[in-house]
Amino acid sequence: RKEVEQDPGPFNVPEGATVAFNCTYSNSASQSFFWYRQDCRKEPKLLMSVYSSGNEDGRFTAQLNRASQYISLLIRDSKLSDSATYLCVVIPGSGNTGKLIFGQGTTLQVKP
Amino acid sequence: ETGVTQTPRHLVMGMTNKKSLKCEQHLGHNAMYWYKQSAKKPLELMFVYNFKEQTENNSVPSRFSPECPNSSHLFLHLHTLQPEDSALYLCASSQLFGHTEAFFGQGTRLTVV
């Protein structure tokens, strides 16, 4: 089983739609979780951290489900500029050893 | 403008060449990383340096040789590469200890011919 798994998509949605991505992780001791965004031929950039209580940043909501070992990202009112690849990132184990494990990424295409 | 700078941005090299990738971070971080990103594959962690010491070598072939002279600079020395080594090589840095994000450089797109 891969350490971090994502559905690669692509997800094709119209502007204004709500879309959700899930990501599963295999190491139950993992403590830190993030969503990164990567535009075509660019470097990944942090979109948001994922906290145990869930967190929201504007149109973006991230949730953590430890029991089922998955994290989710919800995007409301999709914009054309949201088109990108969304990477799920996990720091496995307890403490921060600096080892970030990336999922394959989920590609989102928002259409006019 | 990124706090992590990589050079060169693009590199084409033959299989018998020797070249080096350079990474510099201006963020005061104490951990630096090399990642490889191939088409349709997840980012693969190659090496991790904490406080200039290598703490992770993710079964990377010896034709890739990292060097970390100080906490701000990281190199990846390349020699006798194969065409399948063509990929985007990304450097990142972060602050250890705690729920901290990694910042990436813009990457070096490497083509081995």
All residues at 6 or more sequence positions from A46 whose CB lies less than 8 Å from its CB, including other chains: A34, A35, A36, A37, B101, B102, B103
Chain B residues whose CB is inside 8 A of the A86 CB are none
Chain A residues whose CB is inside 8 A of the B40 CB are 8, 104
Give the C-alpha separation, A11 to A60, whole Å: 16
Structure tokens at B15: 């299989």
All residues at 6 or more sequence positions from B103 whose CB lies less than 8 Å from its CB, including other chains: A46, B2, B3, B4, B25, B27, B29, B92, B93, B94
Q: Which of B35, B56, B101 sits opposite A34 (nearest CB)?
A: B101
Q: How confident is the model at residue B106 (pLDDT cuts 50, 70, 90)?
A: very high
Position B1 pLDDT exceeds 80? no
Are A102 and A33 spatial neighbours (Cβ–Cβ below 8 Å)? no
Give the C-alpha separation, B52 to B31, whole Å: 8
Sign of CA dihedral A101, A104, A110, B3: positive
**Residue A112 contacts B, CB cutoff 8 Å:** no
DSSP B13-65: E-TT-EEEEEEEE-S--SEEEEEEE-TTS--EEEEEEETTEEEEE-S--TTEE
Q: Which of A46, A49, A104 sits opposite B42 (nearest CB)?
A: A104
Distance from CA of B81 to the nearest CA of A (A): 22
Residue of A2, A35, A43 to mutate, testing the B interface (most B Cβ within 10 Å of its Cβ): A43
**pLDDT tens digits for range B15-57:** 999 999 999 999 999 999 999 999 878 889 999 998 888 887 8
How many A/B residue pairs have CB atoms within 8 Å?
Answer: 56
pLDDT of residue A47: 96
**pLDDT tens digits for range A82-94:** 999 999 999 876 5
pLDDT of residue B98: 56
Q: What are phi and psi of A27, to 5 degrees?
A: -90, 110
pLDDT of residue B89: 97
Alpha-carbon separation of residue B110 from B22, B37, B84 (angstroms): 13, 10, 10
Give the mean pLDDT of A88-101: 74
